[in-house]
């Protein structure tokens, strides 16, 4: 005999899935094609925990705020002036091992921005970058671990000049 009070996780998941599907079908029947796409995206955002339904409407969760902020960080770029001033900008950091995930993300972002690894934890770039890198370090809560150096000469500078097309 089947006990209705106790539900297996499979059955509960299937029932919840059917309920969501019925709600979505009802929305789709009422809305246009554009609204359908938005509804799907909103459903996905709710399912992933970025948006939460409330009595007021849909609200952005803390996880959603972090995702938006991270999106802004990933859209940052370093402006390239018309002429190089002959100075190298070095980003130097000493990030503790217990923050290795943030350190790895920070490194990936430096690489995405076009910086060159000069030595372990030392990255080099020919144009001013402190403001942008500081925003990224702030996002990852690593500002206290990051320093900046401006240099006029570097060892093997010609390789860097070639890399950045600076003759």
| Digit-coded pLDDT (tens) for 21-74 | 566 556 555 555 556 666 777 777 788 887 788 887 777 778 777 766 777 777
Q: How confident is the model at residue 3 (pLDDT cuts 50, 70, 90)?
A: very low
pLDDT score of 50: 75
Q: Which of 5, 132, 37, 4 is nearest to 78 (CA)?
A: 132
What is the mean pLDDT of the segment spanning 89-112?
A: 94
DSSP state of 114: T
Residues of the chain with CATH 3.30.70: 81-163
Helix residue ranges, H only, the chain: 9-30, 33-48, 62-75, 100-112, 130-139, 157-163
pLDDT at 89: 97
Give 81-163's CATH code, choosing from 3.30.200, 2.40.160, 3.30.70, 1.10.3470: 3.30.70
Residue 91 reports pLDDT greater than 50: yes
Q: 114 near 76, Cβ under 8 Å?
A: no
């Amino acid at each position: 005999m089947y006990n209705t009070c106790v539900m297996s996780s499979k059955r509960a998941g299937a029932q919840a899935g059917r309920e969501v599907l019925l709600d979505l079908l009802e929305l789709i029947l009422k809305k246009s094609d554009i609204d359908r796409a938005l509804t799907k995206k909103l459903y996905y955002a709710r399912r992933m925990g970025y948006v939460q339904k409330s009595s007021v409407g849909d609200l952005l969760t803390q996880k959603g705020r972090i995702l938006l902020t991270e999106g802004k960080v990933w859209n940052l770029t370093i402006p390239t002036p018309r002429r190089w001033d002959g100075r190298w900008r070095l980003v130097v950091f000493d990030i503790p091992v217990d923050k290795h995930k943030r350190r790895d993300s920070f490194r990936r972002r430096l690489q995405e921005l076009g910086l060159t690894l000069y030595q372990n934890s030392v990255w080099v770039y020919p144009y001013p970058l402190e403001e942008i890198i500081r925003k990224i370090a702030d996002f990852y809560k690593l500002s206290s671990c990051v320093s900046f150096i401006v240099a006029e000469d570097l060892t093997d500078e010609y390789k860097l000049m070639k890399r950045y097309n600076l003759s």
